[in-house]
Structure 1
Amino acid sequence: MNKLSKSKDNAVIFGVLGGLGEYFNIDPVLLRVIVVVATFIGVGSTVPIYLLLALVMPESDDQTTKPASNKKKASPFGGDSDKPKRKEAEKLEEDDWSDF
């Protein structure tokens, strides 16, 4: 069993919930959903506990992580030059209502 540490591979903010998910063998997405729901329901201690864990938990020093490649990661917001450009839609006549 690996030691409890922040995750580098499964991090959204600090990697705390990703590290907890890896340690307890639970899907980190499930932990994130539980924390968000608990925060909105009114369990007010979730944010301070998360921030405390972010400060206290050690960084992952696991050597089994994937080595960083020279290729830049794809941005979720587009702008990737490797992808082919989308074909522009053809402009039809203004009075053409044939799609309806």
Structure 2
Amino acid sequence: MANVQYYDVILKPVVTEKTMELMGDKKYTFLVHPEATKSQIKEAVEKMFDGTKVAKVNTMNCEGKKKRVRGTFKYGKTAATKKAIVQLTEDSKDIEIFQGL
């Protein structure tokens, strides 16, 4: 992944009931660039959110779903995505974008 800046790594946060429960344990879920590595994700979170220290990063590649094209018997796929669950250290500050949720 050449010439990708830290602000290109994290695309958007994932907000679901399950991820909201994980926030109590200081685990935050983000959609990330499909070619991003764990070290790049760690660096991006620490630079984008002041006062955060990342303990570990878990990633998962989500395959695109099979979709039928309307009116025909042809099939296509939605885009593949990559999710990252970021565990912060105990002395780290919380991420502010999730405070009001």
So what's the TM-score if we normalise by structure 2? 0.23
Structure (1/2) with the larger strand percentage: 2
Where relative contact order (Cα < 8 A, 6+ residues apart) is larger, the structure is 2
Structure (1/2) with the larger helix percentage: 1
Which structure has the larger Rg over C-alpha atoms?
1
